Amino acid sequence: MNAPGIKDLRPLALGELIDRSATFWRAHIKPLFLLCFGFELINYILSKSVVVALERGNLFFKGGPELQSRMENDPTSLFGDLGTMMGATSVLWVVLIWSYWLSTLVVARYVVPVQLGESALPADGLRRGLHRLGSFTGAYVLTQLWGLGISLLMMLPGGALILLGALLSQTGSNSRPATIAGLLLIAGGALLAMLGGLAALFWYFLRFSLLAPVFAMEDLSTLGSFRRSGDLISGRVAPGFMGRVKVRAMILFTVVAGILIAVSFVSGLPAWIVRFAYGNPFDAAAAAANPIPQTLLVPVELLQVVGQSFFTPLALVFSAMFYLDMRMRREGLDLERRLDNRPPTSA
């Protein structure tokens, strides 16, 4: 099974990387869909279970008069509900990101051999994922700890402004200018902290974008794979600003992420139409008073899952292509393959 353009194995320009990823995705849409649909379905079941459980037992999700009354009379009694909501959503986030990286590993194990002209089956990726599951999960835990440290570091300036604003408001409570200045510092700090969190999130996906392909194709230990992915995404591969690997990766992943966000929005339109038909979905009290029947909501959400299963592989294919491009630019993988496939010459 050969991919289009396999005879032209060489380092690619930015536009060529996106074009070849899209070409491969179109040519192998069925096996890629089958590989991703299972992950997307499991993710949906987990997310739906958490949301339904919170809607039934968490006041912040249920909304209504009880939440308003508790916030006015005894706001401290809501700390338990707040902690439960934050804990459940945090655990769900960690599991969903782990599932995303694992699906990237599975798809990369199918894409890279095909691009190198070797035979490969979707089942090969699944077997590889199961074989490397333990070491991959260990590396994923390391990425989460690394990402948590970077998030705290990037959100630290905003947190300092919030703390300074709170102190200024408290010490100058009798002074109107001091109170206004404190509120401005708190608002600015919150905005700065939010931007720092978004920057940390973007950095996380950029820094570990090649971890899953490394696990898919190279037999390294947990720490070895962690370091190897960092080496591949660091430094430069060409002169000039655009020669920096992180700059190239940032541009390419931004383009692909934009495509996926647009596709996700389109595929999610039926679910949003149903939600708005039953009132304002952002008003918890109205949603609680007029709940959407799950027999109507689940089918349109499953339609969104199917749509995402068709288009999410494009991003996963791109990760595999970018891994190949880094191997060719840094290690001459394309030249090595040509030498290995060169016919013998007579004396």
Q: From first to last of its 347 residues, what are the pLDDT tens digits of the chain?
A: 444 445 567 777 888 888 888 899 999 999 999 999 999 999 999 999 988 888 787 776 766 666 666 666 666 666 777 788 888 888 999 999 999 999 999 999 999 999 888 888 889 999 999 999 999 999 999 999 999 999 999 999 888 888 888 887 777 666 777 778 878 888 888 899 999 999 998 889 888 989 999 999 999 999 999 999 989 888 887 777 777 888 888 888 888 778 778 877 888 788 888 878 777 666 665 666 667 787 888 888 898 899 889 888 988 999 999 999 888 888 887 677 766 665 555 44
The answer to whether the Cα torsion of 42, 268, 251, 192 is positive or negative is negative
For residue 179, the model assigns a pLDDT of 76
- Which residue is associated with the tokens 């992943």? 253
For 60, counting Cβ atoms within 10 Å of its Cβ (0-12 exposed, 13-18 middle, 19+ buried), the class is middle
The rounded Cα 31 to chain-centroid distance in angstroms is: 22
Contact of 158 with 189, CB cutoff 8 Å: yes
For residue 5, the model assigns a pLDDT of 41
pTM of the model: 0.84
User: Per-residue b/e over 193-228, b at no fewer than 16 CB within 10 Å?
Assistant: beebeeebeebbbbbbbbbbbbbbbeebebeebbeb
For residue 36, the model assigns a pLDDT of 92
> Which pair of structure tokens corresponds to residue 81?
């509900």
As a whole number of angstroms, the distance between CA 273 and CA 97 comes to 27
For residue 4, the model assigns a pLDDT of 44
